[in-house]
Structure 1
Amino acid sequence: MRSTLLSLSLLSLLGLSAGQPRHQHQHLHRHRANRAPIAKREKITVTDSKYSTTTEVPEVVVYVDQNNNPIRTTTETVVYVPASVEMYEASTPTTPTTEISPLSTKAAPVVESEPSSYQAASPTTQQTSSSQHVSSADSYPTSSKSASSSAASPSSSSGALHGVAYSPYKGNGECKTADEVDADFALIAKDYGVIRLYGVDCDQVATAYAAAKKYGNKLFLGIFDINSIEDGVSTMATGVQNDWDIVDTVSVGNELVNDGGATVDQSISALSQTRSLLRSAGYEGPVVIVDTFVAILAHPELCDESDYCAVNVHPFFDPNTGPDGAGSFVTSTISNIRSKLSDSSKRIVVTETGWPWQGEANGEAVPGMDQQSTALSSIKKAYASNASNLILFTAFNDMWKKAEAATFMAEQYWGMGGQYSPCDEEDGLVA
């Protein structure tokens, strides 16, 4: 599958919600449910002169508004019709016909035979099978665009392992102690090479550093609040005791463009400032912006400016992707992102992906223990030869979050294998 961008002109459709964290934490594991009221159509017909025959392709469709802000993702059947065929069949179309136009900040042409709220932006034209997507994702080397890109690969001790996201918050909203963080790492360290953090609050850099040194992990650190970059870098340097060899990557923000928390220019400016401060502090590794695949498809410059491309891809929020299709969804999305980068050889790391084990169904995306196992197996299989470019979400259930209908009551239940942090079990917060 590929990913097609469709734009909608009605801002009233922008009815999206995200899981809300407890207010005292700077970091949010935001999940976009992308539940705008857009009816699934049987097929979308696109006129494209690059095709010599009519071709049907299942694709991930990304709906955006007239300003290219992401609204919803789903899987549709796209019918590519050669221009010559469309001329003769236009009088009796069986599905709406879409004219191709470049994706821009201007309103695109209106889709013919559809309500005026639908407009079209250009889909990509790269077409490969799921197995080819996996090969493509695995075969590109780390980019040499910047001096720090060569440092993007994890150490040899962790390069064969997937990474995992981790939160230092107890289910009651309090910060985990150093002993509680150590107990968490004792359970997960051997299975994951890189542990991803998102911020610097709760003394998490220092506590995670001590645990990572003890158990042999690398840390993927984050500056979540881009309004406090200088303080964040200082806290980070102190937390790792200037032992930067343990740091695999530093991220700037998490899904800020997708969530409207920052503009593209603000994110890139924050990236530049963070990189400069980190270099002065002695860190020479990669610095990246992390955002959703929807935001990056619309704004590939977020990746172009980063030392490698860091993207969150959650197949659960596509109502037409079941657990067994999770791996294909991820790899096809990455293939599509690659086609939009200025450097097609640039490294791309999936910085969040997973599947909830509890919650409400989202079409074919059904939570459950068996479903999570199937989805994770599908994703891991897709990255079997490229494990260091995959970070799973998340190490433990995040009981500090708020369950909401907008995220299918699943926001708390993405822990690997349904696993709870020992401190939450002790506090009786196990559901």
Structure 2
Amino acid sequence: MDIPHDFLHRRGSLPKRDKVTVTDDKFSKPTEIPEIVVYVDQFGNPFRTATETVVVIPASPPPIPPPSAPPVVAPAPPAPKPPSPQPPAPAPPPAPQPTVSSPVAPPPKSSSSAAPSTNQDGTRHGITYSPYKGAGGCKSATEVDADFALFAKDHGVIRLYGVDCDQVASCYAAAKKYGNKLMLGIFDINSIPQAVSTMAAGVQNDWSIVDTVSVGNELVNNGGAQVGQMLGAIEQTRSALRAKGYNGPVVTVDTFVAVLAHPELCDASDYCAVNVHPFFDPNTPSANAGSFITSTVGQIRGKLSDPNKRIVVTETGWPWKGTANGAAVPGMDTQSTAIASIKSSFTSNPADCILFTAFNDMWKKPDAGTFFAEQFWGMSARYSPAD
């Protein structure tokens, strides 16, 4: 999902949250219950009483159990993921390809001359993270550290999308503390030299913590750039980073629809980085989220000039709130089922899957094109303490 670098200027006013979230270890999973809530001022004096829907979330949620094995079905031709904030006319869906038995082959030897991924922890899935407060503004380094304390131990690579909000420096410090790698991102392809300089300063030229650098996110899919522009941006970014001492992978990220239509985006990248969201296919229920990714990755591999190239799903997940998209239904239970299904598809290579996302993104604007779910993709319905 695209995260605009200038979101503070373009984001619409967000509606008041209609649910109260609390944590309680007496509950084993997120639960919604009606409660009478008494609102008090800063001095403890009651000023309003109302019946609210309270979302009770365990302080330490248990691991998601694997779902019952779904019947093996051939998923329908993939549908494109509507981008945010303005859905463009999607590219026509590609012709279906044969389903393969595993989502991604074990990381093969790449034909690229770039150094391999610096990630030495291949046992944990990655996760995306954004340093923005729900009410607007940037999170402080202290707030970023508090966020990492809640999710970092469960994940390997932490994917960022830009360099604003001093996020590179804040996340570098947190990643060093909690033992993560970073996938850094350049959102604006017109500011590549400045972004690379910000990255180098943010990591204090310690590139050992950087797994990958991406340039652009879904720009071809949403009409923000032409394929030729992105190929040039990859080369410009790689050259600028090499000059700063970074020798790891450089990629561009786009939707699977864009990549199937333009596999040269992957051919020019040091590995194939693609966003795959089963929720946006109306024929895919949550239990089949993993098989949808398996089929999609198999189709992508058949399009690459090097079929042994590593493919990393850089965004995938399931919302816990929103409106239904055919068989794809948001919910706490369906999110748990979908995430378990997705993880089961990456049993042999969990590092090739980056889940979306660490926390609910309350700074985003609800939109019918994304089924009013844009704010509610946080793992286990989790809100950031800064919200």
1:60 aligns with 2:77: yes
- The code of the aligned residue for 1:398 comes to D
Q: Which residue does the alignment assign to 1:321?
A: 284
Cα deviation 1:73-130 (Å, max 9, x = unaligned): 6xxxxxxxxxxxxxxxxxxxxxxxxxxxxxxxxxxxxxxxxxxxxxxxx735x5235x
Aligned mates of 1:26, 1:168 — CA distance in 2: 16
Cα deviation, residue 384, structure 1 = 1.2
- The code of the aligned residue for 2:108 comes to T
1:387 aligns with 2:346: no
* Cα gap change, 1:171 to 1:272, in 2 (>3 Å): same
1:274 aligns with 2:243: no
Q: Which residue does the alignment assign to 1:47?
A: none
Cα deviation 1:217-273 (Å, max 9, x = unaligned): 000000110000000000000000000000000000000000000000000101100
Q: Aligned match of 2:321 in 358, 375, 389?
A: 358
Cα deviation 1:29-62 (Å, max 9, x = unaligned): xxxxxxxxxxxxxxxxxxxxxxxxxxx9653245
* Cα gap change, 1:310 to 1:26, in 2 (>3 Å): farther
Q: Which residue does the alignment assign to 2:173?
A: 210
* Cα gap change, 1:18 to 1:352, in 2 (>3 Å): closer
Aligned mates of 2:250, 2:4 — CA distance in 1: 26
What are the within-5 Å matches in structure 2 for residues 410-429 of structure 1? 410-424=373-387
Q: Which residue does the alignment assign to 1:349?
A: 312
Q: Aligned match of 2:108 in 127, 136, 142?
A: 142
Q: Aligned match of 2:99 in 128, 136, 139?
A: 128
Q: Which residue does the alignment assign to 1:154?
A: 119
Aligned mates of 2:352, 2:74 — CA distance in 1: 27
Q: Is the 8 A contact 2:127 2:157 kept in 1?
A: yes
Q: Which residue does the alignment assign to 1:106?
A: none
Aligned mates of 1:296, 1:317 — CA distance in 2: 16
Q: Is the 8 A contact 1:395 1:419 kept in 2?
A: yes
Q: Is the 8 A contact 1:251 1:290 kept in 2?
A: yes
TM-score, normalization by structure 1: 0.70
Aligned mates of 1:402, 1:353 — CA distance in 2: 20
RMSD: 2.4
TM-score, normalization by structure 2: 0.78
1:23 aligns with 2:40: no
Q: Which residue does the alignment assign to 2:336?
A: 373
* Cα gap change, 1:245 to 1:316, in 2 (>3 Å): same
* Cα gap change, 1:171 to 1:389, in 2 (>3 Å): same
Cα deviation 1:171-203 (Å, max 9, x = unaligned): 012000000000000011110011000000000
Cα deviation, residue 70, structure 1 = 3.0
Cα deviation, residue 374, structure 1 = 0.2
Identify unmatched segments of 5+ residues in structure 2.
12-72, 81-88
What are the within-5 Å matches in structure 2 for residues 188-203 of structure 1? 188-203=151-166
SS of structure 1 residue aligned to 2:251: strand
- The code of the aligned residue for 1:70 comes to P
Q: Which residue does the alignment assign to 2:37?
A: none
Q: Is the 8 A contact 2:271 2:311 kept in 1?
A: yes
Aligned mates of 1:176, 1:222 — CA distance in 2: 18
Aligned mates of 1:232, 1:374 — CA distance in 2: 38
Identity %: 65
Cα deviation, residue 318, structure 1 = 0.4
Aligned mates of 1:305, 1:351 — CA distance in 2: 17
- The code of the aligned residue for 1:321 comes to T
Aligned mates of 1:222, 1:171 — CA distance in 2: 21
- The code of the aligned residue for 2:7 comes to H
Aligned mates of 2:312, 2:187 — CA distance in 1: 18
Cα deviation 1:272-317 (Å, max 9, x = unaligned): 0000000000000000010000000000000000000000000000
Q: Which residue does the alignment assign to 2:204?
A: 241
* Cα gap change, 1:26 to 1:389, in 2 (>3 Å): farther
Q: Is the 8 A contact 2:319 2:378 kept in 1?
A: yes
Aligned mates of 1:205, 1:187 — CA distance in 2: 19
Aligned mates of 2:4, 2:157 — CA distance in 1: 26
- The code of the aligned residue for 1:323 comes to S
Q: Is the 8 A contact 1:26 1:224 kept in 2?
A: no
* Cα gap change, 1:144 to 1:18, in 2 (>3 Å): closer
Aligned residues: 320
Q: Is the 8 A contact 2:5 2:188 kept in 1?
A: no
- The code of the aligned residue for 1:310 comes to A
1:223 aligns with 2:186: yes
Bigger Rg, which one: 1
Shift >2 Å, 4+ stretches: 17-27, 56-59, 69-73, 126-129, 141-144
Q: Is the 8 A contact 2:293 2:342 kept in 1?
A: yes
Q: Which residue does the alignment assign to 2:128?
A: 165
